[in-house]
Structure 1
Amino acid sequence: MDFSLTEEQESFRKMVRAWVEKECPKDVALEMEKQEFQYPHELFDKMAEAGFHGIAIDEAYGGSGGTELDQVILIRELSRSLGGQAWIWGINAFAGAKSVGYYGTEEQKKRFLPEIADGKAKFAIAVTEPAGGTDLLGVLKTTATQVDGGWRINGQKIWSTQAHVADYLLLLARSEKDVAKKTQGTTLFLVPRESAGLETRQIPKLGMKNVGSCEVFLDDVFVPDELVLGEPGQAWYMLLKTLNNERIIMAALALGILDGVIEEALRYLDEREVFGKKLGQMQVLQHYVADMLIAQKNAELLVYNAAWRQSQGLECGMEANMAKVVASEGAVSAADHGIQMFGGMGYALETQMQRYWRDARLYKIGPIANEMARNSIAEMAGLPRSF
């Protein structure tokens, strides 16, 4: 059993690490994140120049090839410095590249995948609604009514990251009212952001301040038939694959934050002196570091296993949830202990730890709350449904 990266994967990882150190080291990432509501277009474009948006897109459609494992390697290295700002790559990867790649028509793949790979198209996902949060289907009120040549969509979404700058929104709507199960009768659309009747509003946030998360309002928005993604009425069964990929990518992002936290902690413990000796000699702080390293290894094994399973076409819902829970909780705990290590300066906006904590805190809530992820894991193990 081999747990190591292949020679090609390790070479790719080192290339991304070098790119990060040159283009967006931690001090640069810290300054960028302070620009609330100022989306980092330049960073997105630099990622395009480096070929990152083409990762895991088939070469036949202008991509660089690779699998979900390569996605994990990339975003882990990005978030080690960028923290939550790495999500500008992640959202495009699963909402755009993977969703179109998984269940788009051949015409849709030829149309969208080359644009995504070149960084010429931004995507957002719009599935969550204000009244429901994780209960996507239970409160799904956004409707799609079929009309001549397309559909009319009405409703509201929330927590749609980068919807304000996206070219297309991957949007879930109820297209059939009379269904036996709420999982039936839903359809996925690629909704152009510039559509008449579509409005976005950014939400002020604790972290990831320059990566906008939005409310989306749809008032009789027309979407042509060619922008229906997959089979009408079957969206939920398709969307699960996208949502698993989202959780794996987000888990890898949290793992990258763990990497960054550990680096900052070790650096500070070596530099800081108290009571005539290095801070790193304090036993309790050594225990904090040991716990961080244990969390890092646990998350790494789970994240890479989930990504490998998805790359092999295997069921990975439980594994994706496990990876997301362990990585997010490990990142939050590590960053919180990191702040404690830094003492008063850990609370100062000029340090990296507080940024890591603010970003990581979200991942215990979204894209699925860890409590709900645990419910799903238990249900997959054969226990009765608890919700």
Structure 2
Amino acid sequence: MDFSKTDEQQLLLDSIDQFFEQHPEFDERYIRDCEEKQVPLSEFRNAFIDAGLGLLGIPEEYGGVPVDTQTLVMVAEKIGEHGFPSGLGSMLQVDDVLAFGTEAQQKEIMECLLGGSNMGFCLGLSEPQAGSDSNAIASSYVRREDGKVVINGHKTFTTDGDRAKYMLCMTRDFECGLPPQKSMTCWLVPMDSEGITLENLHKVGHRTRSLCEVYLDNVVVDESDMVGNEHEGFMVVMKNFDVERLVIAADSLGMAVCAYNDALLHAAQREQFGKPIGQFQLIQEMLVHMRIKIDNMRNSIYRTAWEKDNGESLRVASPLTKYYCAQAAFEVCDDAMQIIGGLGYTEESRVSRLWRDARMHRIGGGTDQVMIHILGRQLLKSVR
């Protein structure tokens, strides 16, 4: 397989560089200001859409610019190189709703994504007692005599739950007598529904994204709000995880490239003991190992994206890539902070932000330990 960039891909990546050159207001001070206020990067997102770059990956019939996954991960890396979150999470929502949503649901979510928000829906999966263990989900749904559906439950660690228009909510049918994996159903729940209350959680990183507890108390939805088939919600989530893990890996790569570039520049300019610190072998060793990890991350991500574009199973590739890239990116950011030294540990340096943001990627989308469990099980299946 050939991962060299096509002329079209290179022009696209060059246009992202030009975007940042033309918008000097989107610098680290802008991100820091949004973090302090704990508000989304709305101005950046809107300008990105106006430039046509925020439309990538959305089907043409909805007003977007269709591109393959290979191109999307290259774009994520390029945006991350400039120190910004990629916004590639929209790829996850597009993939989900196109695979399982009705025509009306697809139209609604695409309109949300094209309207300046990268959150058509938030994910209502994790619960206080059901993090890594999806089978322990306790949120329930029951049908009323008038044909409506009533949902009760408590979701936690819901990213942008207070900003999304909808929630893709996983529920259980406790009356069907089926095992957990065969009794789950997903619903597209409007977040302004009566019976929904929210509480914000305060995170270490990713401070321009909110994190919420979501309580659903007799929330009423329609049968038409079902996503996919009844009792097949577990398959919706499994496909979701495959794409989410690739998204996390691509964002991790972008963070690592940005941190590496900052550390490399600092090593070339910072003088101690009469010469640039980059001339000391221990610093050189760190830079070399950082570069090796970045190259390995890129190769793994591009290969996984290629496999997705070619319809191959991601059961091994996706968790493998996510596990390696989440760890490697954090290690690169950590080494970058070490090279930059005291300044790297202050909020004056964007490396400190990248460092705390990268740490979350070893938890979200499946912890390191869960990735090993999934991979070990899949590898053993291959020899049975």
TM range (shorter): over 0.9
Q: Which AA in structure 1 matches 2:288?
A: A
Please name the residue that 2:74 is paired with: 73
Please name the residue that 1:163 is paired with: 161
Asked whether the equivalents of residues 206 and 358 of structure 1 are also in contact (C-alpha less than 8 Å), the reply is yes
Q: Which AA in structure 2 matches 1:93?
A: M
SS at match of 1:194: coil
Q: Which AA in structure 1 matches 2:101?
A: G
Q: What are the residue-to-residue correspondences of 1:4-153 with 2, within 5 Å? A: 4-23=4-23, 25-83=26-84, 85-86=85-86, 89-94=87-92, 96-119=93-116, 122-137=120-135, 139-147=136-144, 148-153=146-151
Asked whether the equivalents of residues 129 and 156 of structure 1 are also in contact (C-alpha less than 8 Å), the reply is yes
Which of 283, 295, 315 matches 2:313? 315
Which of 288, 298, 301 matches 1:300? 298
Q: Equivalents in 1 of 2:19, 2:368: separation in Å?
A: 33
Q: Equivalents in 2 of 1:190, 1:376: separation in Å?
A: 28
| Residue 152 to residue 13, structure 1, CA distance change in 2 (3 Å) | same
Q: Equivalents in 2 of 1:55, 1:106: separation in Å?
A: 20
Q: CA offsets, 1:60-82, max 9 Å, x none?
A: 22221112223212222222234
| Residue 135 to residue 326, structure 1, CA distance change in 2 (3 Å) | same
Q: Equivalents in 2 of 1:311, 1:162: separation in Å?
A: 28
| Residue 26 to residue 284, structure 1, CA distance change in 2 (3 Å) | farther
Q: What are the residue-to-residue correspondences of 1:168-183 with 2, within 5 Å? A: 168-183=166-181
SS at match of 2:162: coil
| Residue 343 to residue 370, structure 1, CA distance change in 2 (3 Å) | same
Q: Which AA in structure 2 matches 1:67?
A: D
Instruction: Please state how far the C-alpha of 1:153 moved relative to its aligned partner.
Output: 0.9
SS at match of 1:165: coil
Q: CA offsets, 1:325-379, max 9 Å, x none?
A: 1111111111111111122212111111111100000111111101110111111
Q: Which AA in structure 2 matches 1:380?
A: Q
Q: Equivalents in 2 of 1:145, 1:238: separation in Å?
A: 20
| Residue 174 to residue 21, structure 1, CA distance change in 2 (3 Å) | farther
Which of 365, 368, 374 matches 1:367? 365
Q: Equivalents in 2 of 1:111, 1:240: separation in Å?
A: 23
Q: So what's the TM-score if we normalise by structure 1?
A: 0.92
**1:239 to 2:270 alignment:** no
Q: Equivalents in 2 of 1:375, 1:29: separation in Å?
A: 40
Please name the residue that 2:195 is paired with: 197
Q: Equivalents in 2 of 1:20, 1:317: separation in Å?
A: 36
**1:347 to 2:354 alignment:** no
| Residue 320 to residue 198, structure 1, CA distance change in 2 (3 Å) | same
Q: Equivalents in 2 of 1:272, 1:152: separation in Å?
A: 62
Q: CA offsets, 1:115-154, max 9 Å, x none?
A: 42343663211111112211122x2011111223431111
Asked whether the equivalents of residues 176 and 185 of structure 1 are also in contact (C-alpha less than 8 Å), the reply is yes
SS at match of 1:183: helix
| Residue 103 to residue 46, structure 1, CA distance change in 2 (3 Å) | same
| Residue 236 to residue 20, structure 1, CA distance change in 2 (3 Å) | farther
**1:285 to 2:283 alignment:** yes
Which of 214, 217, 220 matches 1:216? 214
- What RMSD over aligned residues (CA atoms) do the two structures have, in Å? 2.0
Please name the residue that 1:225 is paired with: 223
* Identity in percent: 26
Q: Which AA in structure 1 matches 2:208?
A: N
Please name the residue that 1:272 is paired with: 270
Q: So what's the TM-score if we normalise by structure 2?
A: 0.93
Q: Equivalents in 2 of 1:112, 1:182: separation in Å?
A: 28
| Residue 82 to residue 159, structure 1, CA distance change in 2 (3 Å) | farther
SS at match of 1:382: helix
Q: Which AA in structure 1 matches 2:225?
A: L
Structure 1: where are the runs of 5+ without partners? none
Asked whether the equivalents of residues 109 and 120 of structure 2 are also in contact (C-alpha less than 8 Å), the reply is no
SS at match of 1:218: strand
Q: Which AA in structure 2 matches 1:97?
A: V
Q: CA offsets, 1:139-189, max 9 Å, x none?
A: 201111122343111111111111111111111111344444321111111
Asked whether the equivalents of residues 173 and 183 of structure 2 are also in contact (C-alpha less than 8 Å), the reply is yes
Q: Which AA in structure 1 matches 2:353?
A: R
Q: Equivalents in 2 of 1:61, 1:150: separation in Å?
A: 30
Q: Equivalents in 2 of 1:112, 1:344: separation in Å?
A: 44
Q: Equivalents in 2 of 1:284, 1:30: separation in Å?
A: 32
